[in-house]
Structure 1
Amino acid sequence: MKLASWNVNGLRSCVNKGFLEYVNQTAPDIICLQETKLQEGQINLEVGEDYRQYFNYAEKKGYAGTAVLSKISPRSVYYGMEENSEPEGRIITLEFDAYYLVTVYTPNAKRDLSRLPYRLEWEDRFRHYLLQLDAKKPVIICGDLNVAHQEIDLKNAKANRGNSGFTNEEREKMTMLLASGFTDTFRYLYPERAEAYSWWSNMPKVRERNVGWRIDYFLVSTRLRAAITDARIDAHVFGSDHCPVALTLSTDRIVPAHIP
């Protein structure tokens, strides 16, 4: 099973910059999108009849939002955490027979860290939500988590320490999430691979010089480790300030029952 995730930073814009070509070339079974910046009816996404399309729109126009395009028909689709709604359109959960798939666009703490308290509270609720799902079936989580977890995950760690996306508090929340029973698939396969980034500033020549951050992830319930066959960062793909990330799982190794 091939999965992909991409913060498209405006889906309508990305469609004009190679989005459909990427989908056609890689043909993922499921592709998850973040920061779609859409309202209902603003796009007719022609990706083929094989893909069922699910959108979670933010109430604020031109802001946030998520989407899932899936060739596999889910048993159910859920938007948000505590309630089946999400004012900023940040979460979609698809339930399949043997697993859950959650795509997420984690709130940014903002440059001045004014939204850090909200971000940390949101992280606790999100972790609790994932653990509730994980108690029923294994979970695949993907999206823009807005944090570089370790120093290896960004180019200039020393200079960025304490900045939004690399505060001790945000990094600790990621550590807590992984410790609660989830695995960072890319680091599981490539624990020491440096200069592997998924986001670059729009400042001149930053991406050209690969001065980036790895803030887009595929996480899985740790008991799915045996199913991981490939994890990839498609840094050669343009169209957004983020690039797609991809995961391949062996479906016959996905164990639906919870194993303590």
Structure 2
Amino acid sequence: MHGFDLHNLGAYELMKILHELHKLGYQKLRWMSYMAPSGMSLRCHITTQDHIIVNQEIIFDNNQGEVWFTSVGAMTTGKDIKPLVKTFMDENPRLLEIGKGEDSEYVEWFSKLLSLAKKGHTPVFYGDYWTLPIGRIKVGKDTMPTPPTSMRLISWNIDGIKAHFDALKMLVDEYSPEVICLQKVKDINNSLGFEIEGYKRECFSAQYAGVATYVKNCLPCNTNKPHNPELSGHLLKTEFLFPSFTLYNIYTPYSNPNIDGAIEHRKKFDEALIKLVGTTPDRQIICGDMNIVVSEQDCWDGKYKRNQANFHDWERQNFTKLTESGNLIDTFRVFNPFTKEFSYFFRNDPQVRANNQGHRIDYFLASRSFVPQIVKAEIIKDCTVSTNNPILLDIMY
């Protein structure tokens, strides 16, 4: 059979082809369909989550073979799709490459959608003729939730993006995060050479600090810099449309007693951050190198009460005020209550790392309302080029 036959199928037959691909292990492939402006045909797409913007728009990515699409005039033609599955696979090697993997939650959701399509109910993710709230799609005369979607966030004190940009790209290739929050970027020129394909980037520079937030193009958001001087170069705010939440990427100033004004700067930063978080509506995530050891579990020798930076009682008290002001949880500790794992190792000494003699000073704090959606909160142990290990948070929505 020729590939042209694929474009003569009905929407239901195309959905059955995707269902067969799921059985073969290509569960990252997703369906999206919407009515043409004329209302005479249904535009059908098979692609991955990275190319679907809040189930309303498609990113074609310069025709790199990562989106398959066609327009159909009927829900079903009754044609046998079994011989056409191989045709689809032969014609779309790149799509299969990016679609390989497991996603049982999506497969379960798609099976329900397929059962409705079998009855002739047209699945419409977006339409010009009616208004649907974000998070719902129209199926015949009814609606159902949009498919379960994952979001992976990584936070990392990169300690100089110029020195460790190659390691950052390797991290992105391996973990494919939707959001990357970097601290201590130390790039006062916001150099164009540090863009990452498929992501939009926002930076807030400072000579010995600086933060940068990368967000995949499929996630609509707005990022801005606070006007407060205490937060300058240390905080970026990103507001996401769907899922709806506020993200703060922060690099908390180190209260170095040997630098004039450092302790006062830290106290003013803490005060400004607590106020900002306390006035932010529910659904927020705060991540970054927060330069605080909260408990004995967060210090390799258990001696977490010391008269030195990262260990002061007043720093710990400010951290508590922060979590209380935003009704926040320490995601790593909630999901790993008995674990002694650390994100910072002094001078990145290999022997210190080998002996697990570290501190946990990098955090993902999240509103308590996120708890049902959090899948994983962990420290990435195999990226050791800087003193700080990256940390990871996975959520479903």
TM-score tier after normalising by the smaller chain length: 0.7 to 0.9
CA distance in 2, matches of 1:8, 1:169: 27
Residue of structure 2 in register with 1:256 after alignment = none
Residue of structure 1 in register with 2:270 after alignment = 123
Residue of structure 2 in register with 1:257 after alignment = none
- The CA deviation string for residues 127-175 of structure 1, in whole angstroms up to 9 with x for no partner, is 1101211x2x411111000001111101134286121001111111112
User: Residue 315 of structure 2 is aligned with which of 167, 170, 193?
Assistant: 170
Residue of structure 2 in register with 1:56 after alignment = 204
User: Residue 161 of structure 1 is aligned with which of 306, 326, 345?
Assistant: 306
Flag structure 1 segments of 5+ consecutive residues without an equivalent: 252-260
| 1:175 match: secondary structure | helix
Flag structure 2 segments of 5+ consecutive residues without an equivalent: 1-150
The structure with more radius of gyration: 2
| 1:40 match: secondary structure | coil
RMSD across aligned positions (CA): 2.0
Residue of structure 1 in register with 2:187 after alignment = 38
Q: In structure 2, give the amino acid aligned to 1:162.
A: N
Contact 1:12 1:43 in 2 (8 A): no
Pick 1 or 2: higher relative contact order, CA cutoff 8 A, min separation 6: 1
Contact 1:34 1:67 in 2 (8 A): yes
Residue of structure 1 in register with 2:154 after alignment = 4
CA distance in 2, matches of 1:227, 1:221: 11
Contact 2:348 2:386 in 1 (8 A): no
Q: In structure 2, give the amino acid aligned to 1:193.
A: T
Please give the residue correspondences for 1:228-243 in structure 2 after superposition, counting only pairs within 5 Å.
228-243=374-389
CA distance in 2, matches of 1:203, 1:223: 36
Quickly say closer, same or farther: Cα 1:77–1:5, change in 2 above 3 A: same
Q: Percent identity?
A: 29
Quickly say closer, same or farther: Cα 1:159–1:173, change in 2 above 3 A: closer
Please give the residue correspondences for 1:10-89 in structure 2 after superposition, counting only pairs within 5 Å.
10-16=160-166, 18-48=167-197, 50-58=198-206, 60=207, 63-71=208-216, 72-80=218-226, 82=228, 86-87=231-232, 89=233
CA distance in 2, matches of 1:30, 1:241: 21
Q: In structure 2, give the amino acid aligned to 1:124.
A: E
The worse-fitting range, judged by mean Cα deviation, of 102-111 and 119-128 is 119-128
The worse-fitting range, judged by mean Cα deviation, of 29-38 and 67-76 is 67-76
Q: In structure 1, give the amino acid aligned to 2:379.
A: I
Judging by fraction of residues, say which structure has more helix: 2
Residue of structure 1 in register with 2:7 after alignment = none
What TM-score comes out, normalization by structure 1 length?
Answer: 0.86
C-alpha deviation, 1:124, in angstroms: 1.7
| 1:229 match: secondary structure | strand
Number of residue pairs matched by the alignment: 241
What TM-score comes out, normalization by structure 2 length?
Answer: 0.57
Contact 1:81 1:91 in 2 (8 A): no
